[in-house]
Amino acid sequence: MKWTKKIDTVLPEASNTLFINGQWRKSRTGRTFAVDNPSTGERLFELADAGAEDAIDALDAASSSAEGWAASTPVERRNLLDNSYEAVMDNKKLFAELMTKEMGKTYQEALGEVDYGAGFLKWFAEEAMRSYGRTFHLPDGRKGLVTHDPVGPCYLVTPWNFPLAMATRKIGPALAAGDTMIVKPAGLTPLTTLAMVEVLRQAGVPDGVVNVITSEHSPEISDALFADGRLRKISFTGSTTVGKTLMKQAADQVLRTSMELGGNAPFLVFDDADIDQAVQGVMMAKFRNNGQACTSANRIFVQDGIADEFVNKLQRAVSALKVGDGMDPSTDIGPLINKKAVDRMERIVKDAVDAGADLLAGGHRSDLGKCFFQPTLLDHVPRECEVFREEIFGPVLPISRFSSDEEGMKAANNTIYGLAAYAYTRSIKRSEWVQGHAQAGVLAINSSVLSDASVPFGGVKQSGMGREGGSEGIYEYLTTKYTLLIP
């Protein structure tokens, strides 16, 4: 039956932002923190700032409800996720506006994220019915049985840049698998996730199955949870530096671990590419979410034969972008998440220009406010510059040129990261060669769109381990059990 109930309350009462055992409550610490609109500086909400005792309360709830939720039927899990999907879509505009105000992305992009994020609920509603086991005969004729069981209480840590989709991409498979969880949204953008949890509450999620902690003191939360032997899994999306720290902590308890970490995506444009299509692709892959995405095109490599034409067309496109408040329908890109991000953009652009790069567009702070930075295009960037070595996470587009295919691929792979990669070519043979040589967990050829609920997503090298989405996603939250059957 279609779920049609609107969210009665968009958010809980101020400071009551811990959702533990089915109830919204304050933190035991008495601390609070605030979330501001990066476009306007407006104070949006006051949140509970949880500590170690709150984390253990959440783990108590997740542990006590684990057996009951693991025993729920696939149909029950599917129905909960289907109802939640319908509720999110019924409140699409509400979610999009909340996302734009707390994170800064344009309202149109936020509407797209609602579709994308809700898709994980729909996809894993069906995956709840498809986590099949199998039976087989051993060589000596005995029968074996393989089944998949819920892994147990999970700690799900989400980033600030896609506050709905990154939550549903973890919550969806965990619920479908029969796991209970503690969700910690990023302190910069927790409001959309809180609204999502309110949807789950109204859709009938049992008490203790989904618990939420808001906090600006992440180490307090992780230290408390990792020291307790009842936690069985962590799934983290964020920086490689923080991911490594969490992996070390998780090792002490031998926790199941899923990590989606930093990226430094190359964007290869070969000399047989459709130039207009490639320009359109790089504009989408770079400036989506104002460049604040782990899949963002960070390093543009264009082959010599078409480089000048490509760069000229790209310069016109970048210069035409309008910066502004995400709620303004004429805005192409909104603010960065905070002033610290703007400071970094200014520094890495100066570093590249000082090293000899040509500044073709932007390169400076915007006068719209402290969180705004101009869309920036740099050509002839030395590859040793920070803008090429490290993830940018902003609207800065550096270009380097290459002669042979082998040189371009070697430069593209010359990074510790391996999350996403892009390539534009009209040649099937070249496409197959790129597919075989690109060191990335996800690859798009002649497209700037990589992710969907129905496909696996994750990185290689220092971009992480494990996969989210696709038929693979639910197995991150299941254990495999083999049983020998003797008649």
* Catalytic positions: 260
Tell me whether residue 103 is exposed, middle or buried, using C-beta atoms within 10 angstroms of its C-beta: 0 to 12, 13 to 18, 19 or more: buried
Tokens of 394: 């902003």
Determine contact, residues 419/265, Cβ cutoff 8 Å: yes
Q: Is 153 helix (H, G, I), strand (E, B) or coil?
A: coil
The two beta strands, 23-25 and 18-20, are: antiparallel
* Alpha-carbon 349 to chain mean position: 26
What number of other Cβ atoms are within 10 A of residue 291's Cβ?
A: 26
CA dihedral 68, 74, 79, 85 (to 10 degrees): 100
Secondary structure (3-state) at 440: coil
What are the distances in angstroms from CA 311 to CA 184, 283, 378, 483? 42, 12, 10, 61
Count other C-beta atoms under 10 Å from residue 418's C-beta.
23
CA distance 378 to 353: 8
| CA atoms of 458 and 394, how far apart (whole Å) | 21
The beta-carbon contacts of 383-390 under 8 Å, at least 24 apart in sequence, are 383/411, 383/414, 384/355, 385/348, 385/351, 385/352, 385/355, 385/357, 386/348, 386/351, 386/352, 387/348, 387/349, 387/351, 387/352, 388/298, 388/299, 389/264, 389/415, 390/264, 390/348
Whether 200 contacts 210, CB under 8 Å: yes
Q: What is the DSSP letter of 365?
A: B
SS3 132: coil
Rounded Cα gap, residues 24 and 200, in angstroms:
13
What is the C-alpha to C-alpha distance for residues 111 and 429, in angstroms, rounded to an integer?
37
Quick one: 421 exposed, middle or buried, by C-beta within 10 A (0-12, 13-18, 19+)? buried
Joined tokens for residue 121: 């609920």
Q: Is 385 in contact with 351 (CB distance < 8 Å)?
A: yes
- Using the Cα atoms of residue 160, residue 161, residue 164 and residue 166 in order, give the sign of their dihedral: negative
Best CA proximity match to 69, nearest among 148, 156, 125, 153: 153
